[in-house]
Amino acid sequence: MTTPLHSRRQFLQQAALGSALVSYSLPRLAKADIDYRELLPESMTKAGGEFTNYGQPSPYEQQVIRWISANPDMPGNGVSWSPLHELQGTITPNGLHFERHHNGVPAIDPAQHQLLIDGLVDKPLVFSVDALKRYPMQSRICFIECGGNSNSSWRSQPILTAAGYAHGLVSNAEWTGIPVRLLLEEAGIKPEAKWVIAEAADGASLNVSIPLEKLMNDALLALYQNGERLRPENGYPLRLVLPGWEGIVNVKWLRQLRLSNAPAMSRDETAQYTDLMPNGSARQFSFEMASKSLITSPSQGMTLPDKPGIYQVTGLAWSGRGKITRVEVSADGGQTWVDAELQQPILSKAFTRFSLPWKWQGQYAVLQSRATDETGYIQPTREQLLKERGRHGFFHFNAIISWEVSEEGYISHVYPE
Amino acid sequence: MTTPLHSRRQFLQQAALGSALVSYSLPRLAKADIDYRELLPESMTKAGGEFTNYGQPSPYEQQVIRWISANPDMPGNGVSWSPLHELQGTITPNGLHFERHHNGVPAIDPAQHQLLIDGLVDKPLVFSVDALKRYPMQSRICFIECGGNSNSSWRSQPILTAAGYAHGLVSNAEWTGIPVRLLLEEAGIKPEAKWVIAEAADGASLNVSIPLEKLMNDALLALYQNGERLRPENGYPLRLVLPGWEGIVNVKWLRQLRLSNAPAMSRDETAQYTDLMPNGSARQFSFEMASKSLITSPSQGMTLPDKPGIYQVTGLAWSGRGKITRVEVSADGGQTWVDAELQQPILSKAFTRFSLPWKWQGQYAVLQSRATDETGYIQPTREQLLKERGRHGFFHFNAIISWEVSEEGYISHVYPE
């Protein structure tokens, strides 16, 4: 194998033993081109800045932003992408959680906001936000992924934008709220109720249909995101969180849950968020986001400075069907695979960070990652996905993503097949 | 028992069964004094606000801030407290992570910053931040607590400030960085090395001594906090994270690790962060933060609007020695206890959220929580702690905290004994 990948255990053992691999690589990284400055740095010669009531990132990190891509004729309709290629760990900080709005971010006074539960219930109920704050809450770390994430990968040519700006309509946070089941049971569910129409209080009057069963299972009416109240762009003051299901049904600015015996067949579940299949039919209600992974570093647009050199291949894997059980990495375009290490704890329907050291010898390479979830489902190649779904898709792209490494160490998005 | 506490399972079963308890309580909450407004809210009649590159909290949440308490003569020396009484879940968002600075927040350009490892090593090493970014990283969700957290509880009278502003020098985040062990092994540890002197690049030239064993065990050289790069007030560009150990040894703005055969006996490990014991001796190097818990809601300064009414008692528990195994709640000042539900997953040396529904009948009550960790250590009463440690303490207060509920539903901090 000309592009050796090393298991983390093997790497650490070698590090501990001071083996040839490590004495070859890490000290060279450490020395860099820098001498330690004997003089005190300026920061030690004076008092530092003030305390702050609410902190902000370092001014040296101003490039770490969401990338906005909105409709010029309707600036409230679009997305902003999480910079996954700049992040580490698994939590997405609230300031960088992806956005998808159909008509902008409503400014909602929580004292004026209400949630109505009606339709096929014994007793319609109205909740103020203050009343909801007194209900039992649960927390769950889970990802939310827009059904349109990675949509550029359906195009015939690979897009050359940074990993997060092509695949970052997915983020992962600790959501805290009330099990929706508790509220529905309080209203009393009529036996004929099968669907729930959820409506947002935004300028798009966004509404979608959700099977009642999902709301009774693991859905949360979230009020908190990573400990603090929801951000406006993530649904303040109330949003649905449906772990593992596509973003649009995680309705933000939630104002109504109407129980029904049939779906509403609204615009966003008929004209949009459906999948045109090879036989000309449209697949609807594809709620569950399938197993997927993405190498965040090294990735599109980065360069490898040392040749040869040791690089950490790292990325994220997630599945709407449960836990990630395995992530494999290939450096030869999928001919051979090595198991990556998975960061603990591995949580169901949440980001799992994988990593693997890679010794790059300076040759042409194609880096790929492939996730498997606890149902046994394996992330498909792009070729397999196109075979199943055709070439006219826009939503629900979850195939393997490939980063080409040139002999000069430049990383580009490619379609290898 | 006049103040019944209910196990979560019991509560949910009753909710599912529509029992007397629930029909008595929850619908009354739901109705509030509000009718559902048939007219569309204003937010649905117009386009919403713009996408943002980096999001901020809702303007309606401006009261959710860190509370700054600094020395008027030296404004860079002080603390800012996390508003734990306003937060939910277990993650502390980066903007609200507590601060403790000895001489302000240094503004450090990462391109100029270096880390030196020297002293009793085979080969001193200097690392640029860019070089460090290429090392293998691990993530860990853990709390950091200032050794001086809850220091007002040593006073003879209970302080009447909000829970977070008396006990919120503790926060919990996902930290990502390099196992310190890897870097020390690369430098080569001489056999006589037993301590490591860690120095910060701040205007206080803060330096502390850390047993080498801890750095070899689970210490991280953190570069990331909840996914993004460290905030300036939390050590940008580099900090030590020593899971479970008092805040001061989690050195921020780290510039040097010097291996030594003895501690440095610096100001912050002799004059400060030591415990004056009843026999007149001073306890030094009390690194490990003992098991502790805090009811965050209801808590000091809040009121219970409904009498009688159902309230969720919720809070946080943590231990520097491992996992929390049990949190008990009392509504009668410690005479009787009921097990609270612990939010999963329970992680070692991390915040664990507990909760329990409480039916308040309108009588005088004293709410308390008591944490047990996996070593079997049980959080002591204040009386027990004072007996062991005397009345002249300032650091390392971990006793049970008591919230008195008056017949009018007003919550106050009390010392019950």
Q: What is the mean pLDDT of chain B?
A: 91
What is the C-alpha separation between A337 and A318, in angstroms, rounded? 19
Q: What is the pLDDT of residues B289-345, one digit of tens each?
A: 999 999 999 999 999 998 889 999 999 999 999 999 999 999 999 999 999 999 999
Q: Determine the distance in angstroms separating the CA of B311 from the nearest CA of chain A, rounded to an integer.
A: 6
What is the C-alpha separation between A383 and A380, in angstroms, rounded? 8
- For the domain B94-283, what is the CATH code? 3.90.420.10
Over range B221-241, report the average pLDDT: 98
Residue B239: per-residue pLDDT: 98
Both tokens of residue A342?
A: 């998975």
Using a CB-CB cut-off of 8 Å, the residues of chain A touching B126 are: 30-32, 34-36
- Name the band, by pLDDT with cuts 50, 70 and 90, for residue B269: confident
Q: What is the pLDDT of residues B65-102, one digit of tens each?
A: 999 999 998 999 999 999 999 999 999 999 999 999 99
Residue B34: per-residue pLDDT: 46
What is the C-alpha separation between A256 and A239, in angstroms, rounded? 11
Residue B37: per-residue pLDDT: 56
Closest Cβ opposite residue A53 in set B66, B107, B201: B66
Residue A267: per-residue pLDDT: 83
Q: Which fold has domain A292-414?
A: Immunoglobulin-like (2.60.40)
Which one has a higher pLDDT value, B23 or A274?
A274
* Backbone dihedral region for residue B376 (phi beyond 0: left; psi -120 to 50: alpha; all else: beta): left
Residue A266: Cβ-neighbour burial (10 angstroms; 0-12, 13-18, 19+): middle
* A182 close to B (CB below 8 A): yes
Map out the domains of chain B as residue ranges: 94-283, 292-414
Q: Determine the distance in angstroms separating the CA of B12 from the nearest CA of chain A, rounded to an integer.
A: 8
Q: What is the pLDDT of residues B393-408, one digit of tens each?
A: 889 999 999 999 999 9
Which of A37, A42, A94, A304 is the best mutation test for B, with the most CBs of B within 10 A?
Answer: A94
Residue B417: per-residue pLDDT: 67
- A 192-231 near B (Cβ less than 8 A): 201-203, 205, 223-224, 226-231
Q: Order the strands of the A114-119 sheet from edge to edge.
A: A125-128, A114-119, A254-260, A195-200, A207-211
Number of A/B CB contacts below 8 angstroms equals: 387
Residue B63: CA atoms inside 13 Å, Cβ hemisphere, count? 5
Both tokens of residue B359?
A: 């039916």
Decide which of 1.20.1440.130, 3.90.420.10, 3.30.365.10, 3.30.390.30 is the CATH code for A94-280. 3.90.420.10
- Minimal CA–CA distance to A320: which of A351, A294, A353? A351
- B 127-166 near A (Cβ less than 8 A): 127-128, 130-131, 134-139
Question: DSSP alpha helices (H): ranges in B203-275?
Answer: 212-217, 267-270
* B97 close to A (CB below 8 A): yes
User: Is A58 in Cβ contact with B232 (below 8 Å)?
Assistant: yes
Count of Cβ atoms closer than 10 Å to residue B388 Cβ? 12
Using a CB-CB cut-off of 8 Å, the residues of chain A touching B228 are: 57, 61, 64, 86-87, 93, 95-96
Does pLDDT of B214 surpass 50? yes
pTM given for the model? 0.93
Residue B399: per-residue pLDDT: 98
- Cα Rg of chain B (Å, integer): 24
Write down the number of H helices and E strands in chain B. 8, 24
- Name the band, by pLDDT with cuts 50, 70 and 90, for residue B281: confident
Question: DSSP alpha helices (H): ranges in A168-298?
Answer: 180-187, 212-217, 267-270
User: Is B22 in Cβ contact with A228 (below 8 Å)?
Assistant: no
Question: DSSP alpha helices (H): ranges in B133-240?
Answer: 163-167, 180-187, 212-217
Residue A105: per-residue pLDDT: 97
Residue B381: per-residue pLDDT: 97
User: Is B64 in Cβ contact with A51 (below 8 Å)?
Assistant: no
Using a CB-CB cut-off of 8 Å, the residues of chain B touching A11 are: 136
pLDDT tens, per residue, chain A with 417 residues: 344 676 545 554 444 333 333 333 444 454 444 455 557 899 999 999 999 999 999 999 999 999 999 999 899 999 999 999 999 999 999 999 999 999 999 999 999 999 999 999 999 999 999 999 999 999 999 999 999 999 999 999 999 999 999 999 999 999 999 999 999 999 999 999 999 999 999 999 899 999 999 999 999 999 999 999 999 999 999 999 999 999 999 999 999 999 999 998 888 888 887 888 888 888 888 899 999 999 999 999 999 998 889 999 999 999 999 999 999 999 999 999 999 999 999 999 999 999 999 999 999 999 999 999 999 999 999 999 999 999 888 899 999 999 999 999 999 999 986
Phi, psi at A14, each rounded to 5°: -65, -40
What is the C-alpha separation between B402 and B158, in angstroms, rounded? 10
Q: How far is CA B53 from the centre of its chain?
A: 29
